[in-house]
Structure 1
Amino acid sequence: MESTTETLAEDTDSDEQSIAVRNWSLSGKQGEVFDDIDLEIPEGGLAIVRGPAGSGKTSFLLSLAGRMRVSAGEGRLGDLDIRKRARAVRSLVAVGHVEGLTDLENDFTVAQHVAERQIMLQPWYKPWVSKSSLREIIGLFRETLQSATDFIDEQPEGTFSTTDAQRADFLIDDDGEVFVSELSELQKFFLEFGLACLSRPPVVVIDNIDYLRESADRARAWAGILVYQQLRKTREPDKPLTVIVSCEDAGEFDIAQRSLGPHAEPRAVVELELPVSQRPHSRSRH
């Protein structure tokens, strides 16, 4: 399909941080990583990128975040050309989880991770974070994620297998003095997501939510994403959050969305499938 930068720009509202790519392709020494992708995500929407291992999901997310250069195609984040303004795009797209890129330090406490990220976001002449500020941030993490997990834990018996964790444990103390090595995988996921959101970016990408082994935990993770999106929309209606998540199967998303109902509704849910050997396509659910 033919496309031009001018045509793409005409279709994009420069006042919004919507995302649009056309003919988006990446080839490497081993051949095509992904090819000819057309995708549009409205500001405040949630995109689910599905595909088996080896379908290029991680590379696709990193390319949207301005962290991997594509071979062909056109893409815009708001009025920014993703290929030409990658540095500016990186400042707007936070990475919530990508293995090897967002890994947490086991010997750090939750508070140390939060403080480190906050200091990075502050002016150079303010290399510290107050205890009250840390408690406020950690409290927001706990409040948001606890409310998300409550919806999932109220699911009827039999929704999840007997091997799934029965309840999510959010025993992160008020001061965040627990070490990362003591956290569950779900707690680590929420901490990574929370750290990515500290700068209040317009877009967050999250890779491979399937690394959470328990189905119930994946549902809780999806619920946390939806609840935080709703929180952003309520507190900062002019700065909604767009989230792009990759997975092999989105069944737990359906559980989370059904559980939350009107309590958390993204502007749109867009699905993109990346088969290993077929041309991908996208469709909108709303």
Structure 2
Amino acid sequence: MDSPHGAAVKAENFGLKGPRGWAFRGVAIDAGPGSLIAVEGPSGSGRTCLLLALTGRMKANEGHAEVAGHRLPKRMAAVRRVAALGPVSGVNDLDQALTVAEQLREGALLQRRYEGPVRALLRPRGERRATTAARIDAALAAVGLDLDALPKGPRTSVRDLDRLEAVRLSVAIALLGSPRLLALDDLDLKLSDSERADAWAMLRSIADAGTTVLAVCSQAPEGVRVLRTATAEPPAKDTGTAGAKPAAEPGAKHAKPARKDTAKPAAKDTGKAETKPAAEDGAESGAESGAQTGAKTPADTGAKPTAGADDRTDDRTDDDTKGTDDALAEAGRA
């Protein structure tokens, strides 16, 4: 496989802001062709977003960057033509239902169909097959993956590969297009110390062959250029909004129960004390009920005279009505 000339990677005040705030911000780098760069930082610090932005897969909205002389974010399509992705979870995952040989052939077919020159499609079928087989063998040699050493050789299922073998296979597929920039995510995920050392040795050999390599990791080994990311702080506007909202909510919560306790329950208890005890059991029952419920009795509140006056008025009304009915009856008999 030909050794492509690596892409220089430069960035100044490079940042990307999404709906939830800044993914990364203030990134600066100046790396020459054939460099091995480790993007180091804690999970959630925007490492993957930076990787995708530098390869033309995500559009940054602050600062600028250059990859192989193509300025970002204006020339994202040109950057995608010279940059290839290794393993990036959720973006180019391996198909677990395929065998290793099928996955390689699929990668070669897609690269030839979408990335290769159109004139390559006009070559005879036998020549195309020979060229594809040679490129696959060269890519496997570059990543150190021996198909014959696998449990079932080329027919080994992708799901049966261990983590390091899956990384080697993904990188081999990326190298089929002879990229100038190779980018991969979570290099040291689920790898032992010895496997991590083997993975970095693989990337270092690819960089020495001329391809610029950009790898996301939790901790970079010694001798590797490090580009660190940190979780960006939210803008001042968002902080102010977040601080004002909790202050308004507790106030509203306390105000509503206060109106409920002082208005509605008081009216309900007073009605019971004025009406029920006076009508059923008189003053003694009202006082006893008030003592049990904690409400004031009619005697304390001055409601007894009012209740008594109402009762006497009702009695007089009944007596007057009865007398009027008797007088009319007598007049009828006369």
TM over 0.5: yes
Q: Is the 8 A contact 1:138 1:175 kept in 2?
A: no
Indicate the residue corresponding to 1:226 in structure 2: 204
Indicate the residue corresponding to 2:10 in structure 1: 20
Q: Distance in 2 between matches of 1:78 and 1:169?
A: 33
Residue 121 of structure 1: SS of its match in structure 2?
helix
Q: For 1:90, which of 71, 80, 84 is the aligned residue?
A: 80
Q: For 2:94, which of 93, 101, 104 is the aligned residue?
A: 104
TM-score, length-scaled by structure 1: 0.69
Answering whether residue 107 of structure 2 is matched by residue 117 of structure 1, we say yes
Task: Write out per-residue CA displacement over residues 187-226 of structure 1, whole angstroms, 9 at most, x where no aligned residue.
Answer: 1100000110111100011111122332221111111111
Residue 210 of structure 1: SS of its match in structure 2?
coil
How many residue pairs get aligned? The number is 221
- Richer in helix (by share): 2
Aligned pair in 2 of structure 1 residues 38, 245: CA closer, same or farther (>3 Å)?
Answer: same
Structure 2: tracts of 5 or more residues without a match: 113-119, 234-334
Q: Is the 8 A contact 1:27 1:33 kept in 2?
A: yes
The amino acid that maps onto 1:44 is G
Answering whether residue 185 of structure 2 is matched by residue 207 of structure 1, we say yes
Indicate the residue corresponding to 2:175 in structure 1: 197
The amino acid that maps onto 1:186 is L
Aligned pair in 2 of structure 1 residues 32, 112: CA closer, same or farther (>3 Å)?
Answer: same
Shift of 1:243: 0.3
Indicate the residue corresponding to 2:49 in structure 1: 59
Shift of 1:144: 4.0
Indicate the residue corresponding to 1:76 in structure 2: 66
Identical columns (%): 26
Structure (1 or 2) with the larger CA radius of gyration? 2
Residue 195 of structure 1: SS of its match in structure 2?
helix
Q: Distance in 2 between matches of 1:243 and 1:146?
A: 16
Q: Distance in 1 between matches of 2:175 and 2:141?
A: 15
Shift of 1:133: 5.3
The amino acid that maps onto 1:172 is L
Q: For 1:187, which of 155, 161, 165 is the aligned residue?
A: 165
CA RMSD of aligned residues (A): 2.9
Task: Write out per-residue CA displacement over residues 156-185 of structure 1, whole angstroms, 9 at most, x where no aligned residue.
Answer: xxxxxxxxxxxx997238972222112111
Aligned pair in 2 of structure 1 residues 142, 70: CA closer, same or farther (>3 Å)?
Answer: closer
Shift of 1:44: 0.5
The amino acid that maps onto 1:69 is K
Structure 1: tracts of 5 or more residues without a match: 1-14, 148-167, 233-239, 258-268, 279-286
Q: Distance in 1 between matches of 2:8 and 2:95?
A: 33
Q: Distance in 2 between matches of 1:126 and 1:108?
A: 28
Q: Distance in 1 between matches of 2:125 and 2:172?
A: 19
Aligned pair in 2 of structure 1 residues 32, 110: CA closer, same or farther (>3 Å)?
Answer: same
Aligned pair in 2 of structure 1 residues 40, 174: CA closer, same or farther (>3 Å)?
Answer: farther
Aligned pair in 2 of structure 1 residues 58, 16: CA closer, same or farther (>3 Å)?
Answer: closer
Q: Distance in 1 between matches of 2:136 and 2:70?
A: 33
Kindly indicate whether structure 1 or structure 2 has the higher relative contact order, using CA contacts under 8 Å at least 6 residues apart.
1
- Richer in strand (by share): 1
The amino acid that maps onto 1:187 is E
Q: Distance in 1 between matches of 2:72 and 2:18?
A: 19
Shift of 1:142: 4.9
Indicate the residue corresponding to 1:243 in structure 2: 213
